[in-house]
Every structure is written in C-alpha cells, then in structure tokens.
Homo-oligomer: A and B are copies of this chain.
C-alpha cells in the first residue's frame, strides 16, 4: 500500500469487541487504506486502559494526526471505556449515529451505542451487531438478519428499523459443554469437520426442538454403546446447538422472510448449510465487511463534511 494514499484518509473505523480489536484506516470513498488487529479486547483493556491501546493501533495504521475515530462494540459497555447508553428498540438503524458518545481523550473519538430490547418479557441487548446491521441493510429493508457467534443474534427489521431481536447462547454453550461437562469425553478439541455428524445433530434438533438437554446426554451414550465415534462428536454437538437455535428462530420469525446471514469462515459455512436444511433462503454478507460498512455509514452521518 502506497503511504501517499493516506492523504485520502477520512477516519479510523474500530470494532472493539470483548476479546479482539480491529481497526481500519478508511478513505472518504469507503476504501480501506490500512488495517491493524490485536487481542486487546474490552477484557484486556479493563485493566490496562483503552487510550494507550487505541494510540498504539493508530500509530501502526499510520493515521494522520487528528483523524477522527469511530468505534463500535464492547468498548461502549458499562465495563468498557466509556458507556454509550443503549438505544431502545424499536429504533431506526440510521439513527445509530445520534447515540454516539464522544470520549474525553485526545482528538475526536466517538463510540456508537448498542441496542436494548427493554421489554420485561423479552429483555435483550447487543453491542457491535447493530453496526453490522446498519452495514448490510438498505434504509427501507424489511426482513430478518442472523448473526452467528458466541451469542448468536436474530434480528427482525421492519422498514429500516430494528423491531425485535433474540440472542442464543449457541457458541458459548458449545465451548462450556465441550470443555467442562461429561461431553468432554465425547468431543475432541480441534476435531476435523464431519459433515455427516453435523447434519445428523442438526436433523435431531430440528425434529425434536424441545429435547436439547437429553440430546446432549445421548451424544455421550451413543459413543458408550458404540453407535458413534468420538471424532464426530464436536460436529454433532455443533449441529445440535445450531439446530436448536434455528428451530426456535424459525418458529419465531418464519422462513418466508428475506434472511441475511452475516458470517465468516467455518461458522458461516455451517450456518449456510443449517439454514438451507431448515427451509430458509438466505443471502450472505461477510461479518467484517458488515462492521466496516456500518461504521462508514455512521461516520458519514457524523462527519459528513469530510466525505
């Protein structure tokens, strides 16, 4: 990348998660001039401080002095850098920028808010995904977005506004069950992909959506009785948990809606397969691109004159 390009710099986009940091130097035309990544997520910075981490990454990016910075994610949580209070659903995605708070630090640094579903019967929260939603939806989008992960999100969007959403602890349950329960004997860490075992776990969950906690035990029993083998255990567990999520989301949101899947890598592939097997017709967007695009849209609204 030609250093001269950096004269076109408009702002720095930052996705600051629980355990990861990603920053991009962005040009005013939306192109990416440089990238810097690290593991200094919120948990790390809660003890070591946020400002020094940001300064170091701005230096790595070669950001010109006084380049404004727009951040999304857990840096805006109560236990983050500065709390950016949640916007409450229903809320238009193109109103996100209005909830950004400015950090009392060198330069113009702002953090986008998360979203809260402040309903006693369905309380829910997100931080970071709202920016991805802004990135992948048109101002009049109506449909559902699925964002798989540690805490998978399903979001119903009505004419550009987040109407409601639900979080599933899919990825985190996979981790804690395979590391800390009796299933550690039935799941190999870093097992190879096993499409047959994944599809079988998925089919079990879709056909018996109330039986998750007994299906988990059967995964162990099937190996004890010789019907299944340990190398397929991780894929089967993944199929059970992803299938449990999709079965519930399908009943809640319906399959006859435009569905966008925001995902990447191996997890994206598993959800693509699972959604198709569940009757969804999903279009797919890359997760990092979604974050960057959302940050660009919000930055244009905040610092319009620079673009």
Interface residues, chain A, with chain B CB atoms under 8 Å away? 116-118, 120, 122-125, 151, 166-170, 172-173, 176-177, 179-182, 209-214, 216-218, 221-222, 224-225, 227, 241, 244-245, 247-248, 251
- B120, A214: Cβ atoms closer than 8 Å: no
- The closest CB in chain B to the CB of A124 belongs to B221
- A214, B169: Cβ atoms closer than 8 Å: yes
Q: How often does this chain occur in the complex, in copies? A: 2
Q: Report how far A160 CA is from B173 CA in the complex, Å.
A: 38
- The closest CB in chain B to the CB of A126 belongs to B221
Q: Report how far A218 CA is from B181 CA in the complex, Å.
A: 22
Q: Report how far A50 CA is from B252 CA in the complex, Å.
A: 53
- A169, B116: Cβ atoms closer than 8 Å: no
Q: Which of B118, B225, B244 touches A118 (beta carbons < 8 Å)? A: B225
A125-B225, A176-B181, A209-B209 given; 7 more Cβ-contact pairs under 8 Å: A124-B217, A125-B224, A151-B217, A166-B214, A169-B217, A173-B177, A173-B181
- A213, B169: Cβ atoms closer than 8 Å: yes
- B213, A210: Cβ atoms closer than 8 Å: no
- The closest CB in chain B to the CB of A209 belongs to B210
Chain B residues positioned under 8 Å from A244 (CB to CB): 210, 212-213
Chain B residues positioned under 8 Å from A125 (CB to CB): 221, 224-225
- B170, A213: Cβ atoms closer than 8 Å: yes
- The closest CB in chain B to the CB of A167 belongs to B217
The minimal Cβ–Cβ distance linking A224 to chain B, given in whole angstroms, is 6
Chain B residues positioned under 8 Å from A222 (CB to CB): 120, 123
The minimal Cβ–Cβ distance linking A222 to chain B, given in whole angstroms, is 4
- The closest CB in chain B to the CB of A250 belongs to B210
* In the complex with contacts A176-B176, A176-B181, A241-B212 CB distance below 8 A: no
Chain B residues positioned under 8 Å from A167 (CB to CB): 214, 217-218, 221
Q: Which of B124, B180, B212, B221 touches A213 (beta carbons < 8 Å)? A: B212
The minimal Cβ–Cβ distance linking A168 to chain B, given in whole angstroms, is 5
- B181, A213: Cβ atoms closer than 8 Å: no
* In the complex with contacts A125-B224, A172-B181, A181-B172, A213-B118 CB distance below 8 A: no
The minimal Cβ–Cβ distance linking A9 to chain B, given in whole angstroms, is 36
Chain B residues positioned under 8 Å from A241 (CB to CB): 213
- B168, A217: Cβ atoms closer than 8 Å: yes
- The closest CB in chain B to the CB of A173 belongs to B213
14 A-B pairs within 8 Å (CB atoms) are namely A118-B225, A125-B224, A125-B225, A168-B213, A169-B216, A173-B213, A176-B181, A179-B180, A209-B210, A210-B244, A210-B247, A211-B248, A213-B248, A214-B248
